[in-house]
A and B are shown apart, each in its own frame.
Chain A
Amino acid sequence: NAGVTQTPKFRILKIGQSMTLQCAQDMNHNYMYWYRQDPGMGLKLIYYSVGAGITDKGEVPNGYNVSRSTTEDFPLRLELAAPSQTSVYFCASSTDPTDTQYFGPGTRLTVL
């Protein structure tokens, strides 16, 4: 199993550009999560999903959108990139909400 995979690994965006961060898992997990990690800070939850077709906001959802059309994929969309969105983005998944979360390697995004 590949576990949780994320693409791209690195990306530089200009202010106002849009992009989609990809996340996929092959463990048949229902629960998936997007976090961001700013330097020297803990991770903060952006959005989460409890299954295909069901998503909800986390602690810091502004400026982001998600969709979950399949169990495997959980893309994160940035519509109008801003410098405040410069961060490292992690995707995670779990079998149920009280179980261990498995993390992807992250996407390092810089907005200039």
Chain B
Amino acid sequence: KQEVTQIPAALSVPEGENLVLNCSFTDSAIYNLQWFRQDPGKGLTSLLLIQSSQREQTSGRLNASLDKSSGRSTLYIAASQPGDSATYLCAVSSGYGGSQGNLIFGKGTKLSVKP
């Protein structure tokens, strides 16, 4: 059964630091991996999607990498800002229940960027 783990559970950094969030998964047979952002009391916002054939994706100050063989992904945030404070969720699609769209989520990393 696919399981997704995110480390650390919480992270506090001063503004301007570069930081890395980690995600690991137990079954390397995935279709894609997605990183989401969740603000308190709000829904999820998609940040980056990496297909299984890709190694990384970039969007602005965000860079996500994928190493399927080791079951790991990292989300790199450059020059962090207070507005980056949120919970970051990692999710993988591994075809659970017969559909490629069924995502398995980690519990998230709660990021706090202090001015």
Contact = CB atoms under 8 A, between A and B. Distances in A.
A50 interface: yes
Interface in A16-37: 31, 33, 35
Nearest to B45: A103
Contact of B43 (A33, A96, A103): A103
Interface string B14-39: 00000000000000000110101000
Interface residues of B, number: 28
A90 to B, nearest CB: 6
A103 B103 contact: no
Interface of A: 4, 31, 33, 35, 40-45, 48, 50, 56-59, 90, 92, 94, 96-106
13 contacts: A41-B107, A42-B91, A42-B106, A42-B107, A44-B105, A58-B102, A97-B100, A97-B102, A100-B46, A101-B46, A101-B101, A105-B42, A105-B43
A59 B96 contact: yes
B34 A103 contact: no
A94 B99 CA distance: 13
A42 B4 contact: yes
A61 to B, nearest CB: 10
Given A97-B93, A98-B51, A45 B103 contact: yes
Contacts of A50: 99, 101
A14 B102 CA distance: 31
B44 A90 contact: yes
